[in-house]
Amino acid sequence: MSFLILVRHGQSIWNLEKRFTGWVDVGLTNKGEIEAEKAGLLIKEKKINIDYYYSSLQLRANETLKTIQTVLGDKKDFTKAWQLNERHYGALTGLNKIEMSKKIGEDKVYEFRRSWDVKPEALDKNNPYHPINIETYKDMPKEIIPDTESLKDTYERATKYFEEEIKNKLKDKNVLISAHGNSIRALCKKLFKIDNNQISSLEIPTGNPLLIELSADLKIIKCKYLDEKRAKDLVVF
């Protein structure tokens, strides 16, 4: 038996401002820092020893993980992987979701945010929000940096990384992943066999650890959000 814990980062500055964030690096709000600390306390209560930690390359997920580790008193190094990054929102990056809803309609914004295979227009490479212009990605080969992504694209990169780098460790070790709404949505789609139509309804709350108990052959025994009050309106697996 082993445990997989999935944690979306605490509330970020652009979450608060309701902006499409994607691959842009923004930090946590005060609320986000509190959420990360509470996530650590909820995990600590379970007395689960975490053997491996993973995160994206992005600041908000890294800050969340570091706070969790501080609460746990765990100084292990963690692995950063771009494949666990948030979905790239293309030309929507940096724009306000409410303003865009007024401009192009709520249905279109919802389609861009939650559909399976619809991509926003590509982000111009001269835009300062394009990853090739952000210090975080200076060591990434430019040819693998996307200009835009659908949830399907995010699913393919995140689940490929999970299969190749993480899955085998779960046979007898416990793993915690601190990532993002769409990369965690992608992992949940695979783990819980959620179909393409249902995935749009899956809400991933900030800073609320999803604890998944696995059998020796990696079958899901049970799962639950540790902050149950904040999980009451979520899709039940």
Query: What single letter denotes the amino acid at residue 109?
Result: V
- Report the C-alpha gap between 147 and 119 in whole angstroms: 10
In DSSP notation, 135-190 reads GGGTTS-GGGS-S---HHHHHHHHHHHIIIIIGGGGGTS-EEEEE-HHHHHHHHHH
Does the annotation mark 86 as catalytic? yes
CB 148 within 8 A of CB 120: yes
In this structure, what are the phi and psi dihedrals at residue 208, rounded to the nearest 5 degrees? -120, 105
- Report the C-alpha gap between 24 and 184 in whole angstroms: 17
Secondary structure of residue 212 in the 3-state scheme: strand
Q: Where are the alpha helices (DSSP H) in the chain?
A: 13-16, 30-45, 59-72, 97-104, 106-114, 151-161, 181-191
**Given 86, 88, 130, 180, the catalytic residue:** 86
Query: What single letter denotes the amino acid at residue 161?
Result: Y
Tokens of 225: 């959000």
Does the annotation mark 9 as catalytic? yes
**Catalytic positions, please?**
9, 86
